[in-house]
Chains A and B, each alone.
Chain A
């Protein structure tokens, strides 16, 4: 017994030395985003069709494909880093990801990031069960409404105090799947979420959900960079403009949404 215990002790300290020191040294050598040739995209992996895990177990989605194409044109290697959505700002500020590119709503967050120009329009909407008695915002009175924590739907609803006050129960859940499962099972009567995501979910899962006609808010998606990282932002924007100009963005959009819903070129025209 004592021998095996001493063995564990020795093995433990050796491991400590190996992992502790070994990793520490590689850390210091590879620190700083400036000297690397990867483009690390932070995203919420539970967010189809923008960024998610497909049936082959690979990360995919409209935003990730667009990001991969952008990285390719910038001569960088793309790295997909799924992040816990609640910690996205800390990840970005500490430099462990280069940007947040994930159906990332600009409205209400204008001053929190260095933004690319918007590339897509989106509404925040309510999703309800087909055949339910809810057909307008006023019907939500007394109902159970769910929203993803820290999402832009939640932010949009913060400005609609009167509406949220009319809800029977206003529930925050960790992700959209939980909300959709609750909606299907009857635990929730409505979900507030992104139109782009809701439409895709309804289309692919063929579940009996409908989107209410009245949106909560209209908004735009952009790519968020750390506030002091305008250099990378500008490089990405340039690559993105190229992608839009030669029709690649349109192709990717058609693949995911059946039509071109990007707004990159239009924005360019306005400027």
Chain B
């Protein structure tokens, strides 16, 4: 059996598309959700703070693979709700968003808490409300500070999509494995590596541009 490069690329490409969608949904939903969790984590309300702290602790303390299985099989095995085959895609999105939001929350917190108290005091003197202070003064600076860390997470995310097959979602690495075993060749793995690398190269490039663009005070 000889490996046809064209077919390999198209198969990996279609898998990459699945990976890409997981990537997009996760980022779009977990970035705002992470901010909400970060607020909870820094809240003066002890109950809220404890809950979010426990949430972050569990999400970071258990493997994403386990969380995906729990989100997918949990409804049936815990609540006895029958799950439809299409649910696996929803489950992947939910699992990734919940997990990544926890990490993003801590990144936001590190950024927000690094801001000097003097800025809040100055804003208060100038008559800014709490919300105004946060959205006009604090957040724009926080975003600049945390961007390199965010880039780290984003790059990890695309590689983590390979975990989706644990609940039967055929993303790129699954296709690479299938091609490899069907043809008894390691070429598809090499191809998969190139796909991941190129994608992450683009991500890193875009993030670097963004960092430069936000660097307007220096």
Of A23-31, A124-132, A159-167, the one touching chain B:
A23-31
Using Cβ atoms and an 8 Å threshold, which residues of chain A touch B182?
48, 52-55
Is the CB of A19 closer than 8 A to any CB of chain B? yes
Q: Does B206 reach chain A (CB closer than 8 Å)?
A: no
Which residues of chain A come closer than 8 Å to B139, judged between CB atoms?
2, 5
The reply to whether the CB of A181 lies closer than 8 angstroms to some CB of chain B is: yes
A27 to B120, CA, bound (A): 47
Alpha-carbon distance A122/B87, docked complex (angstroms): 35
B29 at the interface (CB under 8 A from A): yes
Q: How far is the CA of A81 from the CA of B208 in the complex (A)?
A: 40
Q: A2-B139, A82-B168 are in contact. Are A27 and B90 (CB under 8 A)?
A: yes
**Residues on the B chain within 8 Å of A87, using CB:** 69, 73, 166-168
**B interface: dominant SS:** helix
Judge whether B82 and A31 touch: CB under 8 Å: yes
Q: Are A180 and B166 closer than 8 Å at their CB atoms? A: no
- Tell me whether A175 and B170 are in contact (CB under 8 A): no
A48 and B143 alpha carbons, distance in the complex (Å): 50
Report chain B residues within 8 Å CB of A177. Answer: 177, 180-181, 184
Q: How far is the CA of A97 from the CA of B87 in the complex (A)?
A: 12
Q: Does A215 sit within 8 A of B, measured CB to CB?
A: no
Pair A95/B28 contact, Cβ less than 8 Å? no
- Chain B 52-101 residues near chain A, CB threshold 8 A: 69, 73, 76-77, 82-90, 93
Asked if B178 lies at the interface with its beta carbon under 8 angstroms from chain A, I say yes
Q: B181 touching A52 by the CB < 8 A rule?
A: yes
- CA A24 – CA B75 in complex, angstroms? 13
Closest-CB distance, A42 to chain B (whole angstroms): 8
Shortest distance from the beta carbon of B113 to any chain A beta carbon, whole Å:
19
Report how far A56 CA is from B168 CA in the complex, Å: 21
Are B181 and A176 in contact, with the CB atoms below 8 A? yes
Q: Tell me, in angstroms, the Cα distance from A135 to B69 when the chains sit together.
A: 42
How distant is the Cα of A201 from the Cα of B182 in the complex, in angstroms? 9
- Complex formed: what's the CA distance from A205 to B83 in Å? 40
From B8, B139, B177, B184, name the one whose CB has the most chain A CB atoms within 10 angstroms: B184
As a 0/1 sequence over residues 6 to 39 of chain B, the CB contacts with chain A under 8 angstroms (1 = contact) are 0110110000000000000100110111000000
Q: How large is the interface on A (under 10, 10 to 19, 20 to 34, 35 or more residues)?
A: 35 or more
For residue B7, which residues in chain A have a CB less than 8 angstroms away from its CB?
A: 55-57
B83 touches A84 (CB 8 A): no
Q: Are A205 and B184 in contact (CB under 8 A)?
A: yes
Q: Which residues of A lie under 8 Å from residue B76 when comparing CB positions?
A: 93-95
Interface residue B2 (Cβ < 8 Å from any Cβ of A): yes
A96, B178: Cβ atoms closer than 8 Å: no
Determine whether the beta carbon of B136 is less than 8 Å from that of A2: yes
Question: Does the CB pair A12–B28 fall under 8 Å?
Answer: yes
Of A5, A9, A82, A94, the contact of B77 (CB 8 Å cutoff) = A94
Known: A2-B139, A45-B174, A96-B85. A55 touches B32 (CB 8 A): no
Q: Is the pair A52, B178 in contact by a Cβ cutoff of 8 Å?
A: yes
- The answer to whether residues A94 and B82 also contact, given A5-B143, A8-B31, A84-B168 and a CB cut-off of 8 A, is yes
CB distance from A116 to the nearest CB of B (A): 22
Name which residue of chain B comes closest to A88, CB basis: B168
Looking at the assembled complex, report how far the CB atom of A97 sits from the nearest CB atom of chain B, in whole angstroms: 8
The distance from the CB of A250 to the nearest CB of chain B, in whole angstroms, is 25
Task: Give Cα A24 to B90, complex, Å.
Answer: 8
Q: List 20 A-B contacts (CB under 8 A).
A: A2-B139, A16-B29, A19-B25, A23-B86, A26-B86, A31-B83, A55-B182, A57-B11, A57-B175, A79-B85, A81-B85, A82-B178, A94-B82, A95-B83, A175-B181, A177-B180, A201-B184, A204-B184, A205-B1, A207-B184
| Extra pairs beyond A2-B136, A46-B178 (10, CB < 8 Å) | A24-B90, A46-B181, A52-B182, A53-B178, A53-B179, A53-B181, A81-B168, A94-B83, A96-B87, A177-B184
- Counting from the closest, the 3 A-B pairs by CB-CB distance are A53-B178, A94-B76, A46-B181
